[in-house]
Amino acid sequence: MRTFHSPLQRRHAPEKELHNGAFVPFAEHPGRIDAILEALGPAEAPRDHGEEPILRIHPRAYVDFLKSAFGEWRAAGRPGDAGAYVWPVVGRRPLTLDRVDARLGQYSYDASTPIAEGTWEGSYWSVQSALSGLDAVLGGEAAAFALCRPPGHHAGADYMGGYCYLNAAAVAAEVAIAAGRRRVAILDIDYHHGNGTQDIFLDRGDVFFASIHADPKTDYPFYWGHADERGIGAGEGATLNLPLPRGTAFPAFETALERALTAIAGFDAELLVCSFGADTFVGDPISFFALETADYAPIARRIAGLGLPTLVVMEGGYAVEALGANVRSVLSGF
């Protein structure tokens, strides 16, 4: 399968994240790319589509923030990566402040998403990889793989979170619509709920969002991904959340997958974007499902059974020693 990735994506390399009360080495590191490319072989360099497709999803002010935040942080005399330590509470006045600390809080919702020197560049090229994979699929390939890193599904239109800054899957889905696909489905099978993607399309009837993930009662991102979130307005019924308990292994995952696929089949989509996270793997250090490497191939075969042109976008997956084999397994099924 054609695979797209840019070495410039490595420029995003924060040092640490706040995890369970302590600063620990950043789990979403460039070594993840090495592991995947070692298993797949070299990837094609993406074409540069510019900022225009990104701005279809993300407002200019947020994009400018991502570009300038690290420089503002340095200019304020701060060491290390830029990170928020204060967040506006829901319902407070939408003040426009230019202090970097205020801006970091305004555009994020958690403390696991630092901005390093190369965060903008890495995120930009991650989206370009998704757009190049989309080009391949729009051009007639049955499926293509975008090795997107940093990941994207926790990023909303104007916020970062969960190691995500720009939402590559959402940008690709929107560009597919702009290219004339009337209805697009997004199937998110990362361990964590894809809150950013859901938020972006929550009130849209032309993009179906289905997600299988750890129950947010026990797992990040907690405030999204509950089964009663089903879309609003024109998007009523076009969001499907299938939360599963910790410990979920292949049989229960497959049952949820069949439900998601039935719903997607009923939506009459012309194209599928699959946000794939390998953090459902039994050995993932920050997640608690129990899928095995060999399970990813039949999961992909069932998804491919929809018969839709499919763009696979990489999201999470932190068991680096197994990551290459897990990605190879999933791609073998498409």
Residues noted as catalytic: 154
Distance of closest approach, residue 230 Cβ to Zn ion, in angstroms: 22
Secondary structure element (H or E) that encloses residue 124, with its range: helix 119-138
Nearer CB in complex with ligand Q9C: 53/151? 151
Q: Residue from 4, 163, 253, 289 that binds ligand Q9C (CB under 6 A)?
A: 163
For residue 19, state whether it binds ligand Q9C (rule: CB under 6 A).
Answer: yes
Applying CB under 6 A, which part among 47-55, 157-165, 257-265, 299-307 lies near ligand Q9C?
Answer: 157-165
Residue ranges in 224-263 that form contacts with ligand Q9C under rule CB under 6 A: none
For residue 190, state whether it binds ligand Q9C (rule: CB under 6 A).
Answer: yes
For residue 20, state whether it binds ligand Q9C (rule: CB under 6 A).
Answer: yes
Answer whether 189's CB lies under 8 Å from 198's CB. no
Q: How many chain residues touch ligand Q9C (CB under 6 A)?
A: 15
The sheet carrying 271-276 orders its strands as 3-4, 143-146, 310-314, 271-276, 184-188, 207-214, 239-244
Q: Which of 149, 174, 175 is nearest to 164 (CA)?
A: 149
- Per the DSSP assignment, residues forming a β-bridge with 267 are none
Residue ranges in 46-85 that form contacts with Zn ion under rule CB under 5 A: none
Indicate the pairing of strand 22-25 with strand 207-214. Answer: unpaired
Q: Per-residue string for binding with Zn ion, 236-265, x by CB under 5 A?
A: ------------------------------
DSSP secondary structure, 56-117, as one string? TTS-HHHHHHHHHHHHHHHHTT--SSB-----PPTTS------SHHHHHHHTBS-SS--B-T
Q: Residue from 199, 279, 284, 295 that binds Zn ion (CB under 5 A)?
A: 279
Residue ranges in 290-329 that form contacts with ligand Q9C under rule CB under 6 A: 315-316
Taken as a whole, the chain contains a residue count of 334
Nearer CB in complex with ligand Q9C: 113/132? 113
The span from the CA of 25 to the CA of 322, in Å, is 19
For residue 29, state whether it binds ligand Q9C (rule: CB under 6 A).
Answer: no
**Binding partner at 220 among ligand Q9C, Zn ion, none, C-beta below 5 to 8 Å by kind:** ligand Q9C
Nearer CB in complex with ligand Q9C: 22/95? 22
For residue 316, state whether it binds Zn ion (rule: CB under 5 A).
Answer: yes
Distance of closest approach, residue 75 Cβ to Zn ion, in angstroms: 33
Residue type, 101: D
The span from the CA of 91 to the CA of 323, in Å, is 41
Contacts from 99-102 at CB under 8 Å and sequence distance 24+? 100/69, 100/72, 100/73, 100/75, 100/76, 101/76
Nearer CB in complex with ligand Q9C: 106/112? 112
Task: Look up residue 142 and give its DSSP letter.
Answer: S
Q: Residue from 53, 225, 243, 277 that binds Zn ion (CB under 5 A)?
A: 277
Nearer CB in complex with ligand Q9C: 107/163? 163
Answer whether 197's CB lies under 8 Å from 186's CB. yes
Nearer CB in complex with Zn ion: 123/132? 123
Q: Would you state the structure tokens that stand for residue 170, as one six-digit string?
A: 């959402």
For residue 110, state whether it binds Zn ion (rule: CB under 5 A).
Answer: no
Integer Rg of the chain from CA: 18
Query: What are the residues binding ligand Q9C (CB under 6 A)?
Result: 19-20, 112, 151, 154, 162-164, 190, 192, 220, 277, 279, 315-316
Query: What are the residues binding Zn ion (CB under 5 A)?
Result: 190-192, 277, 279, 316
